[in-house]
Structure 1
Amino acid sequence: MAPLADQAGYWGERTSTVDWCEKNYVESYYVAEMWNTVSNLVMMLQALYGIYDVFRNDFEKKFIIAYTFLFVVGMGSWAFHMTLLYEMQLFDELPMVWGTCFSLYLLCDIKSPKSLSKPGLVAGLLLSISFTLIYLYNPLPVLHNTAFAILAISSYVLQICMIRQTRCRLCATLYALSFACYLFGFALWNVDKFYCDNLTSFRESIPGWISPTTQLHAWWHCFAGHGTYLSVLLTSFRESIPGWISPTTQLHAWWHCFAGHAFAILAISSYVLQICMIRQTRCRLCATLYALSFACYLFGFALWNVDKFYCDNLTEPFLFVFTYAVITMSCAQL
């Protein structure tokens, strides 16, 4: 449900079947929902980094397609929230289903990573095309939400089966973080959708500079985008790294976990999380978010440096444990 007193803007009257709990054209004449729009940068930047990661680590090239779907979803969501036009809504929602179908195909094809399974690929294409035709004929939001939920849950169930077979500790950690991001983001999505009036009243009672941090649908973009990124990363690590012990020593993967969450925290509210502003306003929430983000990046950056400059030492278990202990104690002293 959209809040009352929306303003007119550049893109004209809304034609989309849904409107979210952010007042339209308040921040800009050219952008209907500013914070729901710019939050998609988190999704698109992580998708681009994922594509870069595929080339750098020589992962299977089919993962480029998965990250490309994530980028297209971010673009579509940007266009949808910027215009609130029905055509842009389709640009947002249809790639979500297509991308999730492709993720299911990757999980089903995991036993033969060197080749694309034609039957599985054809089945995914038929499923995506069938949904597209049905949704174009009957564009009910509940239809899209149900289809996407079924596909997303199926993907997470298949990942559980994969982790139980491989006993990959890093994969289990990535899975837990990915699932937690999605679950928390989905909770925020529901609050934004079903308690819009209460949320709008709360925004009007707080200072204007902190109001953007209450745009829960924008946070959904951040957490869902990061959860999807971690999910694809999990699948790519499963196919590319043998064994169930060695993945836990891939410190650059842990960098994704820590730094990724820090980036998501800062994405929308970075302009309010400056040191000077915190000193002036004495905002405890801002100070807490800043401290959490800085701690995540500091610890992740330490692991990144060890992974980069002491790669040979990581092949010896004793030196790896020693290095990890030194990093942990150093961070504890901070």
Structure 2
Amino acid sequence: MADGISSFWGPVTSPEWCEKNYVYSSYIAEFYNTISNIPCILLAIIGLVNALRQRFEKRFSVLHLSNMALAIGSMLYHATLQRVQQQGDETPMVWEMLLYIYILYSPDWHYRSTMPTFLFLYGAAFAVVHALVRFGIGFKVHYAILCLLCIPRMYKYYIYTQDMHAKRLAKLYLATLFLGTLCWLFDRLMCENIAGWYLNPQGHAFWHAFMGFNSYFANTFLMFCRAQQLGWNPKVVHFIGLCPYVKIQKPKTQ
């Protein structure tokens, strides 16, 4: 904790990251780890507006809202470093991955109601257990397994997509995931060394920023692929030349 600034939230009850606590405000424990979630929220709003405006399936609106909820939960966790807020960060992480699994695999699911029912019950059960038990490394392993389950399907979508702009989205998704993971590992494994540096590179904050873009690129790529499956003639265009999004042209019968 920084000298002269007290904690509004009381003693820390959750794991801390490699950033000094309460340096700028008594209301924000880890300042950079908190504000670095803002890009994810802004990008989720852009994705949500696009999904609603073009009347994509509700699953994509829920997905963007899930990204937003996850970022807000992460902000609350890093601002307070409290056990309850940590759950508000980690539980949405699992829910979000279950939603990705549903979107990725639902086109090949023969029993339409079985998959969402199972994933919903799994997510609800995890939330209850996670509220009662501290997982620690078990949570990270569980989350990594859910992420790995998504990779084969993402690769299948990539190799079957001919549009170069859509393929670029998939490459940006991988690049931001790789860079974000490096930042996370650097912050976690090198913290003792970083503590002695004059300037903290804020690896965990960069992880948040990269993962905000990562989620947006993944969502946009999946929107493109789903629009192709439905025959909506999708194109990847850019807002003011920078932010990619999917523009569709539905058949008049739809």
| TM-score bracket for this pair, using the shorter chain length | 0.7 to 0.9
Contact 1:38 1:78 in 2 (8 A): yes
Percent identical pairs in the alignment equals: 27
Name the aligned partner's letter for residue 12 of structure 1.
G
Q: Deviations over 1:132-159 (max 9, x none)?
A: 3333333122121111111122223211
Aligned counterpart for 1:229 among listed residues 175, 192, 216: 216
Q: Distance in 2 between matches of 1:59 and 1:171?
A: 17
> 1:165-216: per-residue Cα shift (whole Å, max 9, x none)?
34443332211111111121011111111111211222x2x4xxxx5xx111
Q: Is the 8 A contact 1:181 1:223 kept in 2?
A: yes
Per the alignment, in what secondary structure is the counterpart of residue 32 of structure 1?
coil
Residue in 2 that maps onto 1:313: none
Where does 1:96-175 land on structure 2 (aligned, <5 Å)? 96-110=93-107, 117-175=112-170
**Cα contact 1:37–1:81 (8 A) shared by 2:** yes
- RMSD over aligned CA atoms reads 2.8
Higher helix fraction (1 or 2): 1
Q: Which residue of 2 aligns with 1:45?
A: 42
The equivalent residue for 1:215 is 202
Corresponding letter in the other structure for 2:190: Y
| Equivalent residue runs for 1:192-207 within 5 Å | 192-202=187-197, 204=198, 206=199
Secondary structure in 1 matching 2:107: coil
TM-score by length of 1: 0.67
Q: Quick check: 1:95 aligned with 2:92?
A: yes
What does residue 23 of structure 1 align with?
20
- 47, 52, 55: which one aligns with 1:55: 52
**Letter of the aligned partner of 2:186 in structure 1?**
V
TM-score under structure 2 normalisation?
Answer: 0.86
Q: Does 1:250 align with 2:236?
A: yes
Which structure exhibits the higher relative contact order, with contacts defined as CA atoms closer than 8 Å and separated by 6 or more residues? 2
> Per the alignment, do residues 6 and 78 of structure 1 end up closer, same or farther by CA in structure 2, a change over 3 Å counting?
farther
CA offset digits 1:215-237 (Å, max 9, x no partner): 11111111111101111111111
8 A Cα contact 1:40 1:77, kept in partner? yes
Equivalent residue letter for 1:236? M
For the structure 1 residues 243 and 74, does the alpha-carbon distance in structure 2 shift closer, same or farther, using more than 3 Å as the test?
closer
Distance 2:126 2:3 in 1: 35
1:69 and 1:171, CA in 2 relative to 1: closer, same or farther beyond 3 A?
A: same
Native 8 Å contact 1:44 1:74 kept in 2: yes
Q: C-alpha offsets along residues 261-286 of structure 1, whole Å, 9 cap, x if unaligned?
A: xxxxxxxxxxxxxxxxxxxxxxxxxx
Code of the residue aligned with 1:250 in structure 2: it is V
Distance change (3 Å), C-alpha of 1:179 and 1:24: same
Q: Is the 8 A contact 2:5 2:25 kept in 1?
A: no
